[in-house]
Structure 1
Amino acid sequence: MSMTIAYWCLLAAALLPYLWTSLAKANGQRYDNRDPRGWQARQDNPRSKAAYAAHLNAFEAFPTFAAGVLGAQMAGVDTGWIDVLALAFIGLRILHGVFYIAGKAALRSAVWAGGFACTVALLVLAALATI
């Protein structure tokens, strides 16, 4: 059973927070590596704040996604389903960050829900596979 696509998606999901934080730093005032949390608190650029919020949200989304992928794989769920849901999750999470930074709240919430649905589907498929 090959899990290459889903495992690449796990790596992508683990790296997404760093994409958003790099954008937060690029959109803000000169970055202070000696005081990163204080630097972030002093930012007044809405795009920088939104990118940082996307960064935090990406960290929040990762554990459930990882549990879903690994649980589905261990339960013997069809690899095709795992791959499709993992790819959809990554696509939706990228859109989530883009919409967050762009200030598109309704779209951001919609793609967040879609990404969450992917993780729930992975966990449900894992649970059903063990019945």
Structure 2
Amino acid sequence: MSTETNEVVDPNEAPPATPHAADASVTLADVRHVAALANLQLTAEEEPRMQRDLNAILGHVAALAALDTTDVPPLAQVGQLLQRGPALAGSSLRPDQPKPSVDRAAVMHEAPDTDGRFFRVPKVIER
């Protein structure tokens, strides 16, 4: 297993394909590819830890995928469950209450840079 970090990873290039999706595991090449897509710079020590963590996450996803959900009805939102019974009692959920928003013109006036309708922000991602 190589932890060489001098390798240049093109974020537009797909990571190497794994032979069998069921046996798929995250390789160091996958870690580098995802890091490049996320504009992260991982150290040689961080790469294997990230690989281990991502493989653990995939293991949990595989365990969920193996569950038989044949008789489980689809659920659009978890909130639907909370609103059906005692789970809502004492929860931090509250009904939405519409309120007036801040004045758009005042906010735009205070912004350091606008084009009249939108905020302008400096570019933070360079590729």
Give the alignment's TM-score, normalised by structure 2. 0.26
Instruction: Flag the structure with more relative contact order, 1 or 2, with Cα contacts below 8 A and sequence separation at least 6.
Output: 1
Greater share of residues in helix = 1
